[in-house]
Structure 1
């Protein structure tokens, strides 16, 4: 999860650098294209047999949900602050806890209920409905967080029968046309330093998801996802230092509430694991 954390931050910075220069669909296409090549090489080295699967519907469901989540995330990076994007993405544990209880039959303990209550309260602090017009980009990121949660549930299920490389290969392969065909409507070939950031997006996306998939093999979805919360203070510092983004008190307070709920849950889960 530490490696996944670093990768996600790097991908956010690369997404911000590319925002407004090429379309969101193009960013997603290049991410998948780089992924297909790199994962294809690793699959060839470690054994093509791991691509055999009887769960193509689960792969399709995961990747449609994940593509929707990625689109909302990258779109938001170019419009609202980095800290707000990450803070809104932190509603993912709320969606994940609910979906894990419904589809994976993971028990909603008292600690996991705290995730839901604190998460919703934090969301209201960040969006502050009634205080002004909510930016459409914020709603896109929020919808993206729900898409991420759906993909996490599929990932948790798939990790029981598929290798991490197999899951990543099908992710890049299936999402390739989802980004390519819409990108043709407003295609702009990257130039100069843009190619560097394109590569950073593609590589960091793979390392992030590989590490996340490995983590899901070791713990419940309700434990793995909350560990991602260190991204907010780090990305807020990056936004402040490199993009002159103000540190919004409401965003930080909302995220602190979400973090508190998830910290309670994490401590309870660790205590349960030690007891066993």
Structure 2
């Protein structure tokens, strides 16, 4: 017991001695690992429970995990100032989460991860259409390259589009719209309100489709469901904290490690072996999104910690 306590204190001391940039990198990698394990739990929970129920319990149990946070900050800190956008975000977020969770049960985890890298591309396009942001030739070229990367993964001319791939693309689109709504909400509402009300609204929205397929979870399923809620909350906290401590352009490249992590976990647990084109397309998409994020940082003239970074999926 004493040895374990000393080891924990050593870890804390080591973490406190690191620079803000190093802390941000450690937190960012931690969030990626936690999200990756959460994805495994989603797949395992869906083996004995309908995926629509998994989505519902992910939100219900996440709210329970967040209750101490709500109690500590007070209700005033989560007041809604833009109700219409909150409800829009709830419905769009539900579509993205349901599609995202379901695709994880239909296609290899590495393929779903590679397709999810396209979100920044959709965000850039959406910001131009809906927010009036101006993009120049270089970023347009990067978007085109990213779309080519997605086509390499999907290969629509050689393979029929499966439901899993379609849902993965729908999830990326919906979560991109969700990120644009969050960007608008940050102008009027607190981060705590944005995060907590999303979970609160998703509970009744995701309960409705879960009712027709309802069955009570087994003990094993409950363990996975609680794991999803706890890991998701911890990952969200780590991710948000990392982007508050360091420049977005220095952290974005780290995100690519999610692909090999998911590929490794998929191979070890589900015997999935990602194809060559998944790696090639994923790398192309990711490099194009890195370029876009760097151009946006230069255009804003800021390399400061990013307070309004895109919220993580799932």
TM-score (norm 1): 0.88
Count of matched residue pairs: 275
**Does the CA contact (< 8 Å) of 1:7 and 1:208 recur in 2?**
yes
Q: Using the TM superposition, give the Cα deviation of residue 41 of structure 1 relative to its aligned residue in structure 2, in angstroms.
A: 2.4
State the partner residue of 2:302.
273
Is 1:73 matched up with 2:85? no
Partner residue of 2:128 out of 98, 101, 104: 101
Who wins on radius of gyration, i.e. which is larger? Answer: 2
Q: Using the TM superposition, give the Cα deviation of residue 50 of structure 1 relative to its aligned residue in structure 2, in angstroms.
A: 1.3
Partner residue of 2:50 out of 23, 39, 44: 23
In the alignment, the residues of structure 2 paired with residue 244 and residue 181 of structure 1 have an alpha-carbon distance, to the nearest angstrom, of 34
In the alignment, the residues of structure 2 paired with residue 189 and residue 167 of structure 1 have an alpha-carbon distance, to the nearest angstrom, of 30
Q: Using the TM superposition, give the Cα deviation of residue 230 of structure 1 relative to its aligned residue in structure 2, in angstroms.
A: 2.7
Residues 6-61 of structure 1, C-alpha deviations (whole Å, 9 max, x = no match)? 33212211111112321121111111111222223211111211122221111111
TM-score (norm 2): 0.79
Q: Using the TM superposition, give the Cα deviation of residue 70 of structure 1 relative to its aligned residue in structure 2, in angstroms.
A: 0.9
Is 1:141 matched up with 2:168? yes
In the alignment, the residues of structure 1 paired with residue 139 and residue 35 of structure 2 have an alpha-carbon distance, to the nearest angstrom, of 24
State the partner residue of 2:222.
195
Compared with structure 1, are the counterparts of its residues 35 and 172 closer, same or farther at alpha carbon in structure 2 (3 Å cutoff)? same
Report which stretch shifted further, 130-139 or 155-164. 155-164
Unpaired runs of 5+ residues, structure 2, are: 1-27, 305-314
**Does the CA contact (< 8 Å) of 2:36 and 2:262 recur in 1?**
yes
**Does the CA contact (< 8 Å) of 2:81 and 2:189 recur in 1?**
no
Unpaired runs of 5+ residues, structure 1, are: none
**Does the CA contact (< 8 Å) of 2:111 and 2:274 recur in 1?**
no
In the alignment, the residues of structure 2 paired with residue 212 and residue 99 of structure 1 have an alpha-carbon distance, to the nearest angstrom, of 23
The CA RMSD measured in Å over matched residues stands at 2.7
